[in-house]
Structures are given as C-alpha cells and as structure tokens.
Amino acid sequence: MINLKSALAILLPLTVATSVHATAIKQTKGDFEDKFRQLEEVLPTPNVYRNAAGEPGENYWQQKVDYKIKVSLDENKRRLSGSEKITYQNNSPYRLKYLWVQLDQNIFKEDSMANVASNFGGIGRRGPKTEAGDAKKPAKLSLGELRRQQFMADNELGYEISAVKDSRGKKLSFTVVGTQMRIDLPKPLKSGDSVDFSIDFAFNIVEEDAVSARSGYEHFEDDARKGGNDIFLLAQWFPRLHAYTDYEAWTNKEFLGRGEFTLEFGDYEVEIDVPADHIVSATGVLTNPKDVLTKTQRKRLEQAKTAKRPVFVVTEKEALENEKAGTNKRKTWKFKADNVRDFAWASSRKFMWDAKGYQQGGDDMPFVMAMSFYPKEGGDLWKKYSTESVIHTMEVYSRFSFDYPYPTAQSVNGPVGGMEYPMITFNGPRTELRDDGSRTYSQAEKRFLIGVVIHEIGHIYFPMVVNSDERQWTWMDEGLNSFLDGVAGREWDPNIPWGVEPRDIVGYMKSQNQVPIMTQSDSVLRLGPNAYTKPAAALNILREVILGRELFDFAFKEYSERWQFKRPTPSDFFRTMEEASGVDLDWFWRGWFYSTDHVDISIDRVYKMRLDTHNPDIDFARLRDIEADKPSSLFVERNKAAGKELWIDRNPDIRDFYDENDRFTVTNKERNKYQKFLKDLKPWERKVLERAVKEDNNYYVLEFSNLGGLVMPILLELTYADGTKESQYIPAEIWRRTPKQVRKLVVTDKNKELVSVAVDPGWETADVDVENNYYPRRIIPSRVEAYKAKKSSAKVRRDIMHDIKTELKKDEDKEENKDKKGK
C-alpha cells in the first residue's frame, strides 16, 4: 500500500493479473535512443530553391530539353536507326562546359558495368543460383540465364553513335563512359542560354524474353505469316539528356538496370517510319491521322469520344487478317508531345486497338482519350478490362493529386510485364490458347491485368508528372504509386489482394535481408517489398491510423500540386506532409524510411488497482477480502481431507484476544488517524477524494514493451465482463521519453470490469507478432498437416474458365478403370 497525501490519492493493488513475461527490455543511460529526434538534422538545409515548407523555393529552376526525332524501324533486322535534334535550355544559375547524355542501350554490351559487375548467384539476378557455403552442392544456372548469355554473345548490342554535331553541322567532341556520353561544348553554356545539337544513332533491338529488359521485341513464330510476327516495345531508345539539378548537379549515375531514370521535361516532335501494315501507339498526339489511318478508323475514333464502352478502331478480325502477310510499303506516324519527360512507342501488325473517351472536366485537360493496343493473345481479358482500368485509374488518382494533364492515356500489351512512360504503358498479362481454339484466363491473370494497368497508368502521375529522381530514390515513385494503386484497386474490388495493407509487409519487416527505404535504388536488396510494399503500407498507416483521411488527403494533394511538372526530393515530401497536416511526423519518417526497425508492441502485464479511501473501516475490510481470496496451502487442504483435527479445535478452552481479532481489525487509533487526515485536507482535496470514493472506479495499469524498435501508436481493444468492447487510441508520443517500455493508466466505471486487452486487433500497424498483442494470452491458432499430404488445391493457380469445360466421367468409365487396375 502506498500512502500519497493530498491530490495524489493512494492506489491500492486489489488484484494483479498473472503476468506472461515478455523479453525483458531495460533502458539504461548508455543505450537511450531518441526516436523523436528532429529530422531537420538529417535533411538538406532549406534554401532559395527548396524552402523549409517543402515547396519549390523562390528561385527554383529546372532545365528544359526539346527533341525533334526521326526514327526508322527495320523489322527484318530488328534494328532501329534515327537522328535527333536537341535544344538544351540552361535555366540553372551556372555555366555548363559539357552535357551528359544517357545511352541506356549500352547496358546490353558485354563490357557494360551491369554485366561485368554482376555477382554470380547474387541478389538482383534471376538466373544463377548457388548453395552458399556448401562446396559439395553444385551451383545452378537456369536455362533462362543461359539464353540471355547466348543472345548477348550472338548479337552486337548497344548504341552505334555515328555523329554528334552542333547546329551548323560541325562535329562535337564526345566521350562514351559506359551507359553515358559526355558532349564537350565549344564554349560554356551561360545561364539563360540554349544550345542546339544533333545525334545520329542506331542499335539492334533486344529480344525482351531473352534478356529480361524494360523494352524490346517479342516474336510470335506460330502466326499465319511466314516467319511469324513481332511486337516491338521501344523505350530508352534514343540518347536522352541526364538531368542537371540543384541538389546533385549532373545525375550521371551508371545505368545498372534496377535504378530507373531521371529526366528533364521538354517538347517532342517524333516521326516514326514503320512497315505500312503496322499500328503504332506512342507518347503524345498523332498529328497526321489522314496519312496513316483509314477513313473508317478515323470515324471509329470519333465515335469513341462519347461511347459508353470502348470502341474498336482496329477490330480483332482486322488484326487477324493483318497478321497473315507483311508488306514492303512504309508509313510514317508523326506524334507531338508537350511538356513530357520521356517518349516511348510500340509497333506491330498484330495490334487490335480500342478507345474510349474520358470526360474528366476541369480547365486543363477536360477530355482524355483512353486507348488499348493488344494482339489476339490479349483476348477477352484485354477487351473487357484494359481501357476501363485506364479510366478508373484517372478517376481515382485525380482526386488525390491533380487532373490528368495529357490528352491520351494508353495501355499496350507486349513482352514487358509492366513499365510506364508519359501517356503510354506496357503491360504483360494475357490469355491462354486451349486445344479447342478458345482463349481463357485464370482469376490470377485477370487480377494481374487490372492491377498492373492501374499501377502503370498511375505512374504517369508519379513520376512522369511529379518528376522524382528514380535512379536515386525508387520509393518516391514506386512507393507513392503503390499506395495510390492500392486505393484505386480496392475501389475497383476490395476482394482482390492488392498487397499494400500493413499485414502484407510484416514478413519482410522482421526479416534480416533488408535495408532502409531511403537506400539508393541500385543498392536495395529486395526491391519489391522495400520500394513498393513497405512505403505503400507506411502511407496506408499514416492515412488510416495516424493522420486520418482528411488531414492526409489534404497534405498529399498539396504535395502533388506543389510538385506537378517539377522535381521533388524526399525532404520536400516529408516537409510538405508535415507542414500541410500540422502534425510532427519526424518520428514516423525516421522509423519507417531511415531504419530497418519493425513494429512489435507487446502487452506484458495488466494490473487492476482500486482507490484507497484512507477510511480504515473500508480499506481493512478490503484487505481481509484479498487475503481470503488467496488459495490455501496444499498441506492444509490435504490435512482437512485426511480428517486431521487442529490443536485449537481440540483445546477450545484456551482462547485469547487474537482468536476473535486479526491483523485487519480496526481500532480507534486508526479511526482517529483517519479523522486527522480528513481535517488536514484542503476543501478542494476533500471534495476530490469524496467523489473518487463514491465513484469507486476501476484503475488498470497496462504495461507495454517495444520489442521491434519502431515506435507506433498503440491501438487498444478493451473487452469488459458485460460483453461490451471499447477502442482506445494511444498516440506514438507515449514512447517519447521511454521508447522501450511504457505504462498506461486506464480508468473504467466500477461496473465495467476489464477482462481482456488486445493491441492492434485489426492488424492496422504492421505488428510482426500478433500473439503478444493479447492479455491474457490466447491459445495460438495453428494447423496440423498429415505427413505426405497433397498440397491444397487452393494453392494451385486454377484456370476455372478452362477447367469448367472438363467433361464429367461416366460411371461406366469408372468401372472400366477399376477393371484395368484389377488386371
């Protein structure tokens, strides 16, 4: 019993629940870590280019690069050749003596850094597998990796740069450094000036299936046309300027394959020369439709503007007919794209083409044409869902950011599983051809298509408009986009597992094979969970648990609008989210983005307390009840059972005062002491005590341990003896002074007796161990599997659309099978 005078009334332990001890965590003077240390110590100092609020500063600048490109596709040689005229506008306050250009195709050269520096069996390569530390087991090399090696050995890959000239046709000095090229200018380019120059280039297109690239061709040898047909997806296909930024100057990092791209905005005029029977999809708007489209196709495009469902510009029948024979004739498709950071395109005679207008309203781009291009292999899966998914994405993303800013949004099927560029995306899922000639698809393939289209179209917002540095910080586009595609996906169908819930990241967060989210892209160990799932789950938690939807949505939209067509860094995102929400989130960014800590909050003990009234007639009686509730000793119980008579019962004539009174008997001495205690109280103190005694509330002390290191809010579900439940939210700030262990006092009405406590029962915080989230501990649910049991059919990817056609075996077939077995 603790006697605290005055307003600090005494809390008397009435019952203490039996404790299940978690791993003891002791915080000592030497190991204290401030989880709430301000992030400004780490972030770049605000300046005139990027201010402390996370906004572009008063002197913010970025470069502008315009391209005029003529390119020709040699289908037979699978080769691209082109020339580009580039206008580089120096908006920086500095003089530039040279320009750095990206030569991404050089990654496929045998002597590229990506090839030479590859670690056999290491993280990031799909093919080689090794048994580390076991010399007796042979290393494994997949057939896919062998195919890749053979393709690269058999083909001359990488750029052929035949000319680099200034605007007057004079050769410029240049130096190729791996996947980069430095162009030396005749004189320094002053701030505010521009320079014109041209590059002639060519390269052999890679087979995407062979080398696992972000672009390339796919061959269909079974098509009716002799020699088959190809689909060409062209990206990273022209020499592009590196970005020159206020935070890094030239972003000239070698292209190693994983870290994507950092580019400048500009205007494009591109002429694409292809076989006359090809259909071309590209960034931008087609400026010569009369030269390349039939009158019927142009009419269908017009009808698509107001159609309820997608209209075929090129029908399946027309595409199948087009597949049968090639042509020696050529057509040039001309496209124009303003204020884009890149340009990609696709070309094939296999494409059918559907379109549907999206009336998004607003002043900037009230109408957008959504389109899909796909071969017969896309089938009904693409007909039903591709273009509709494109429009759904724009509807959702625009609510969280800004109106879709471009005139077209396209989804193209080809060998690339999923890649994004301004106004055009490459998406891989397809149907399967069956023996009866039909095409079906599994539920998983359907979900994959819807999910990948939403994700890749979403990338047109992040990073194609909110132009983050992909090579440096993958999470800034993949993580933010995965968060939003999870929103759009769950608004499409919440039953599809979108992989962005907090529960989806717990396995990764407790693993040893991880690095902080802020790690540079090429050094990330497991890109998917690190750059996609973990930041998406973190933002989900920030929205649903910490800030709430109203504050989060306002702040996220503010960030999107501030950095539309500009280049944000992580500090700009962190600062904007805090400045616009009005909530200090440094602890959140530090824990989720700068560390590999995980969430594991354990509820270790619950103490039930009762207020000490100081009235001996009340308190001593309570103490007697506590004593009586204790179990008697086993010795005494067995003696009773054996009928042993006690000495005091055999000798009743020997008695004294203590046979009728115990240590809980109240005397006037205690009563006088109580009266003096009351007399010494100030009026307000006596009033507080009397009310507390009258209310007779229950006082519970809940003790928590932070086993994972990542501080988070504590979400409680309290269950009472009357069957009711109550939710309580304890902010993360409870951990501010003691980040390893905390206690929380919970006060309930005297009729609300607490019987159990659960931490995060809805799995909203990515807690990696839910079993220490319950008090009292629950029986751990598990399962037992019979030895040699077959795998559950639920684990097998089933194509029900195809399996439904299976004929039911007749009884005579069964009897026949039995007879055969008997023989």
Count of all residues that appear for the chain in the document: 823
What local confidence, expressed as pLDDT, does residue 486 receive?
96
**What does the angle CA 467 – CA 470 – CA 475 come to, to the nearest 5 degrees?**
100
Give the residue from 272, 297, 113, 103 showing the smallest Cα distance to 183.
103
Q: Is the peptide bond before 463 cis (omega within 30 degrees of 0)?
A: yes
The C-alpha atoms of residue 390 and residue 410 are separated, in whole angstroms, by 7
> Tokens 């501990």, residue?
777
Structure tokens at 610: 């009762």
Whole-angstrom Cα distance, residue 589 to residue 234? Answer: 37
Q: What is the pLDDT of residue 809?
A: 78
Q: What is the pLDDT of residues 326-371, one digit of tens each?
A: 899 999 999 999 999 999 999 999 999 999 999 999 999 999 999 9
When the pLDDT of each residue in the chain is averaged and rounded to a whole number, the result is 90
In the predicted structure, residue 762 carries a pLDDT above the cut 70:
yes
Taking the CA atoms of the chain, what radius of gyration do you get in angstroms? 36
Query: 356 with 311: CB under 8 angstroms?
Result: yes
- What average pLDDT score do residues 72-85 get? 97
201: confidence class by pLDDT, cuts 50, 70, 90: very high
Q: What is the pLDDT of residue 130?
A: 46
- Per-residue pLDDT, 332: 98
592 CB-contact burial (10 Å; exposed 0-12 / middle 13-18 / buried 19+): buried
Give the pLDDT score at 822: 47
Does the structure show a pLDDT above 70 at 18?
Answer: no
- pTM, whole model, 2 decimals? 0.89
**The residue to which tokens 């390893």 are assigned:** 740
CB 504 within 8 A of CB 764: no
Distance, CA of 779 to chain centre? 33
In the predicted structure, residue 134 carries a pLDDT above the cut 80: no
Do residues 714 and 769 make contact, with C-beta atoms less than 8 angstroms apart?
no
Q: Determine if the peptide bond prior to 776 is cis (ω within 30°).
A: yes
- Tokens 């998983």 identify what position? 444
In the predicted model, is pLDDT for residue 236 greater than 80? yes
- Strand 698-706 and strand 601-611: pairing? antiparallel
Q: Cα angle vertex 561, ends 556, 566, to 5°?
A: 115
Q: How many CB atoms lie within 10 A of CB 787?
A: 4
First-to-last alpha carbon distance for the chain, in angstroms, is: 86
CB-CB contact of 733 with 36 (8 Å) = yes
**Alpha-carbon gap, residue 206 to 189, rounded angstroms:** 36
Q: What is the reported pLDDT for 99? A: 98
**Spatial contact of 410 and 281, defined as CB atoms under 8 Å apart:** yes
Is the confidence at residue 238, as pLDDT, over 80? yes
- The whole-angstrom separation of Cα 335 and Cα 347 is 14
pLDDT confidence bin for 235, thresholds 50/70/90: very high
Give the 3-state secondary structure of residue 195: strand
pLDDT, residue 133, reads: 47
- Segment 451-470, tens digit of pLDDT: 999 999 999 999 999 999 99
In sequence order, the β-bridge partners of residue 244 are 250
Confidence of residue 10 (pLDDT cuts 50, 70, 90): very low
**Whether the predicted pLDDT of 56 surpasses 60:** yes
For residue 619, which amino acid is it? D
- Which pLDDT value is given to residue 30? 65
pLDDT (tens digit per residue) in 487-504: 999 999 998 888 889 999
Q: Which of 145, 117, 116 is nearest to 130 (CA)?
A: 145
- With cut-offs at 50, 70 and 90, classify the pLDDT of residue 104: very high
What are the strands of the beta sheet with 174-177, ordered from one edge? 174-177, 180-189, 96-102, 240-241
pLDDT of residue 812: 59
Residue 497: per-residue pLDDT: 87
Backbone dihedral angles phi then psi of residue 488, each to the nearest 5 degrees: -65, -40
For 752-764, give one letter per residue: b (16+ CB within 10 A) or e.
eebebbbbbbeeb
> At 26, is the pLDDT very low, low, confident or very high (cuts 50, 70, 90)?
low
pLDDT of res. 780: 80
pLDDT at 14: 43
Neighbours of 326 (CB within 10 A): 18
Q: What is the pLDDT of residues 411-456, one digit of tens each?
A: 999 999 999 999 999 999 999 999 898 999 999 999 999 999 999 9
Q: Which two tokens stand for residue 724?
A: 């009711």
pLDDT bucket at 77, cuts 50 / 70 / 90:
very high
Is the per-residue pLDDT at 770 higher than 50? Answer: yes
Question: Residue 216: pLDDT above 60?
Answer: yes
The H-assigned helical ranges of 603-702 are 616-629, 634-642, 647-650, 668-680, 683-695
d(CA 43, CA 801): 53
Q: How far apart are CA 602 and CA 741, in angstroms?
A: 9
Burial of 82 (0-12, 13-18, 19+ CB in 10 A): buried
What is the tens place of the pLDDT at every residue in 79-88? 999 999 999 9
Give the helix/strand (H/E) hosting 556.
helix 549-562
Cα separation, 148 vs 723, whole angstroms: 63
The β-bridge relationship of strands 180-189 and 279-282 is unpaired
pLDDT band, residue 123 (cuts 50/70/90) = low
